[in-house]
Structure 1
Amino acid sequence: MRILLVFRAIPINLPHGPRRAYKNMQQSPPSASSSRIPLPGSGQLPLLLAMLVLLVTLVATYTAWSSARRTAQAQLQETFDYRTRDMVYSISRRMAVYEQVLRGARGYLRGTVEIDRRDWEEYYRVLRLDQSFPGLEALGIASIIPPGRLAAHEAAVRREGFPDYAVQWTGPGPATSAITHIEPFGGRNLRAFGFDMFSEPVRRAAMERARDTGQAALSGKVVLVQEGAAAQQPGVLMYLPVYRAGQLTGTVDQRRAAIVGWVYAPFRMSDLMQGLGGAHSTDLDIEIHDGEAQGDATLLYRSGDASAAGRARPARLTASSQILPGGRTWTVTMRSSPALEASLDTTRPLLVAVTGVSLSILLSFVVWLLASERRRALQLAQAMTLELRQSHDQVASERQRIGVILENAPDAFLALDRQGRITDWNAQATRLFGWSAHEAIGRDAAQLLPEQRRAHFCTGFAAFAAGGRCAMLGAPTELEVLDRHGRAIPVELTVAGLPIGDGFGATAFVRDITQRKEAEAREQRRQQRLDEARQALLRSQKLEAVGKLTGGVAHDFNNILHIISANVQLMLRADNTDNPKRKRLLSILDAVERGSKLAGQLLAFARRQPLHPTVVNVAELLERMDSLVLRAAGDSITVERTAPPDLWPTLVDPNQLENVLLNLVINARDAIGKGTDGNGRITLALGNATVGEGEGGEGGDLAPGDYVTVAVTDTGHGMPPDVAERAFEPFFTTKPEGKGTGLGLSMAHGFARQSGGDIRLESEPGTGTTVTIYLPRHLATAQVTAGHGAATPHS
């Protein structure tokens, strides 16, 4: 975390009159005629003049003192606000990081809690969780013990070398769990080994919430099992559910059925808060309460300076905020500590007051002397002139010091006058924008912005220069600026107002955040690829489940059809007469044949159809199918074929491949036919492809190796994403009723997978669809067969 320290210089413009008067006094001594001042007749007039001057200067001193005091209080308030925001962010960030630790542990488990203890110990040791994550008391696994398996579970653990192992519970619960793995396995953590957290209401509420939502859940205030009888401190636990691999978790009931345990981490609050705030941790007195109510029952943490004696002292500044770690509300109350309040600048107001009072008395005395004796007044005036000159030199030195600081600041600094022109420019600004200080000073600041933002900037800055109000004041703002070559640079801008006469100018610190933006973009792309991989995995699991169900049903249905067919054929042999009953039997036999074909299609999707693979050259197979493909496509559609001369052979069932290709051509024809005129183009492109490690696509189902690709591309209407996701599901079709069975792409999917390859679909509404089949390359030397046989189209 980078902290920007902004030093704001307040210019002090001293009039040059005293210095000129001092020079004039040295150059021209007073004449004898002017050495005497005629005094009024009354001796009380000098005293009245001195009292009047004293009154006026004391009023001015009080005004300056009040302004300095308000400025010091405002600076203290700004520091307190920054510390509180940083503390709340640090707590939220630390809890988010620990949640990621649990997610990494769940990913390591891969859907099971049955893991070797040495593997779990090695995982904890390699991550060095005890050194890198303060407050993380342990990392453990809570396993669910099925009903009736408690004794067997205890016996199994005892056989692993823990003869005294027994499940501990605080009372009967709806289910039984046990802490079966915990690292580091020693010290206080041994007290938690075998503890049934599900039997304790507070822990059970968090475990049930994690189980039902699938997200991390934080418990309420508890005393950890690891704590001894003395010096107990409040603690919390964070749970993340572990679902059985391969089971659906889309609904609450599915998640409850799939749960096998939890990966969890206990936290001692005092250890968890250790190190937060860094060097400024003593600036705040902190209390953290569980929930919105505040009291000793909900108190999770109280810093050492927030003790009872400390709370008796009224804090100058207080703030409260709520955060939601693990879906649970924490109320964080922060007060300014004595250390922070001691940083309040009381020296400057005191200096202003002492200096003002001293100058008031001195000026009053001077007026009295001037009224009483001019010579003594001239001597005092000379002394005052010398003092003012020294003060002016001090101000010049201070200006030089501030200039050195700004010139060497890590961020670009610039100042603008009321017209929006640049008046100050440091070295970092030259490195960022490319203009030297000589070239930049006097330039309109709107030239640093993109063209489309300049008019808005000019309008907004004119309003700010008049009233001093702007939404960008104080808080950093992200935007883009241009360097002298027109290159856009993402920056973080911190703006402060600068009073100039009866209007306002501005000062700004500009930080280049190009690297941060690039890191955020990389993280966003990584998350997008991760989400795409998850979606592909879900689709693959869905098709796998549907395929298993479909294969079983189709197999049983096919057996029933064989029985019906055999009986009908026996009845036909027994009755050779031509009568209505025989026609009905023939109709039944025809229906059985259609049902058998339907069962074959379902078995093809389920990858359970009988295949007769031979070595096939797909290019020669397409040449043999040319007339059949043209008839299937129709006269109004152009069919194009492309193939490389060195196309690899593949080992597949040629008849099934012909059937799949013909179905894809018919689907492409129907997609084109939904247009306005039915004209279009179908391209059958063959090719060789090599899939490397990690290039198996979103689902990762394609093993590395060489493949022959068959891509069928149409110029039809295309598919929206929701339709494309369901395209391979059996009986799903976008065609009108009676125009298709919805098994064409399902058969193609099952055939490709059963042949050792895969099938991919790419579609975009308005541009068409491409279906690509990957068939494994055949490396054995054998006679290549083009394949032939009757192909039955299915849509």
Structure 2
Amino acid sequence: MSATPRQHGGANRQTLFSRRNGLAWAVLAIALLANLTSWLYLQQREHLAAQRQFDLLANEVSQAIDKRMNDHEQILLGAAGLFDASQQVERREWRTYYRRLDLAAHYPGIQGVGYAQLLQPEEVAAYEAGVRAEGFPNFRLHPPGPRPQYSSIHFLEPLTGRNLAAFGYDMLSEPTRRAAMLLAAGSGETRVTARVTLLQETHGKVQAGLLMYVPVYHPDRPLDSPEQRLAALRGIVYSPYRMDDLMAGILGEQAPQLDFAIYDGARPQAEALLFSTREGEARRAPEFTKQLQLALYGQRWTLTFASLPAFEASYQNAGPLVLLGLGVSLLLFVLASLLTLRREQAEALARKMTEQIRRNSEALRQSEERQRLVLKGSNDGWWDIDLQAGSLFASPRAWEMLGYPPDERPQPIMRWLKLVLPADLNALQDSLSQAVEAGDESFSRETSMQHRDGQEVPVLLRGYIQSDAQGRLQRLSGTMLDLSERKRIERLKSEFVSTVSHELRTPLTSIAGSLGLVNGGAIGKVPPLMAQMLQIAQQNCQRLSHLINDLLDMEKLAAGKMTFDLLTQPLKPLIEEALAANQAYAQQHGVSFSLDQPGDMWVRVDAARLQQVLANYLSNAVKFSPRGARVQLHSELRGSRVRVSVSDRGPGIPEAFRARIFQKFAQADGSDRREQAGTGLGLAISKELIERMDGSVGFHSVPGEGATFWFELPLIEMQAALPPHEAHSSGPRLLVVEDEPSIVHLLQTMLGHAGYRVDCVFSEAQAQLRLGQQRYAAMTLDLRLSDGHGLALIREIRANPETRAMPILVISAYCDEGRKLLDDDGTVTWLEKPFDTEQLLDTLDRCLSGFPHDRRRAPDDHDTAR
């Protein structure tokens, strides 16, 4: 007879609760115990993490309030400075100052910026009459009533809306305000009132209020004691705050993650409540609470914080894991029960699961260990800057690099910025701004920071940029690498190269000189085969000499030891000289030059260094051009800069090499069998030289169609058409000699609008050239020029019969010195810098008064041209 289903169910129940199934029950108990232990551990970890985050949020709120109040103090100190700098500040000036602050955009939540004037009883009537005369016919000082001393809110911007109720209010009439005002006046420091109700509470919800005061004193009165300061008090600069509006401005639109309240005083009392994020009575006990004290300008605030349900829920993630663990536990129990009779398979399964857990734990441990060792092995420090909170975290290694003890507490960003050398700070900020504007997610910059002992520490800062949807910078995180050892090695390498290069020059000079004498026949005729070999040796001596010179130039540029003799001079002769100097080298390679004649353009350069750049460009173009090709040299204007380009018809620049083309020792063909010899330093040196002359370099190339290398320099002067206001002028022609471009532009504008025709030059040499080509009604002259002294030019002009009678107006900051050195006989007119248009034209009129040509009529160009 077969067993019924009821009999099978009874057997299963007996088996489930039998001793034979003890292993399954043991597995269930162990799994539940492990699940309970894990749940307790996760609960503890979540609680600790939530506590840290809660403390961080509370500190951020406290720091934000403290920082904003400090910023508001700076606004009032600036307003007090306005009174210190002026005997009388007008209402229009006060309104202009307020509008320039743009407080609604930069510091939302501030009710306004005002000034309360101190008055004696006998001054009140005259004061009220004066304010009414300003356009306020209904003005009166309030509240009325006799008092030993009065104050009146004289300025308050914006003078609209709620602020109209406070206009003319005597804050000394109210005890709380009076106490804070007298404390500020007696101490000479900023003070904040206790909780008050502002006069601005004219409608809507009444908010708690407070006021910040900065005293303003009469000038030239002693301020050494509280009594003297009270006696010298002129008025009070102040700002009123409605606390709800102020906190909304400080916290912004971010939803608070915790409840907090601000109380006036050392204890949280309901009657001293200034601000609270809670609405109504609290109906639950928060899991996290914190109380902070904040000392602000003579007042102590108590800040209480409490966690919100949403905040607490965000850290209560153990529940799903517990349910999962319970499910796993029950599954294990079922499996163990099903496999009771197959103990070996169950044990194997348990061993497999235990091994998997062990491997996962070991993998996690190894991953954390690898991350720790990577940071330790790389010798990098890490840092994190939260720009919204204004806080900085740095690793112990980062502080160790700078000689400071480890400090993992949040630090103000300014502490970090103060460690960056001032000379590098602007460059670092510019580099970061450019990366943000370009939309980059990372940046890398070498800079120098100040060690605790005063030494300079070169570091490499690399970081990740976090921005919001509008592209505003929010957070920076990255690493810091100490470059001291690398810089030391680079310095040793540079010194080694310099020493070796200098030591090679002496024997190389002897070898080259000896070869030159032998090849020149100084010791007799040389056999043809030997002459060929000696010629090869001499050519390679020259190559080695060029290499040594390039190495020395790079060393000087890197060390900042290369000097530049910058002079304002025409560009055209420099280009023609470079072509002539490289003509023989071009003929040797069967290449010709083509020059697009530049205009009469003047630049401020070191002629020898510019020749070196042109020689590098031209020799490269010749070297890579096929025989019979033509190398083109071209110059053109690009706005306020002049570009000089050298184009060849060679193979062009490979795409893979373009990023390194201006780097040291860079060559497109780096093999030992490359067709064109060279050091790879020429373009790197050219780039450094042009940049030291305020220029820039670049290139463009199409593979197989040649390459064009160019450099740009600031344009100092170019002969062009006269400005529109001079094009049809018939006034006298003047020559302006001045080496400062801004002054040249100023004189050209002033004189051009007055009806003169103006030619401008920047040096003594240019002035001599113009005076030899054109007759001028008069000349203005600066004494100190880039290539000489103006007195020498005056003596030369007076010695020339054709220019002796030309009036000269000296415009300089050294007129007294010039008069003594020139032994002035009255033929030169002097005008001290600075000057205005009226002074210039009146002085020029006197200068021209003895000249036969009238100011309104110029000499005939047909008669005066030479």
TM-score by length of structure 1 reads 0.46
TM-score by length of structure 2 reads 0.42
Larger RCO (CA within 8 A; separation ≥ 6):
1
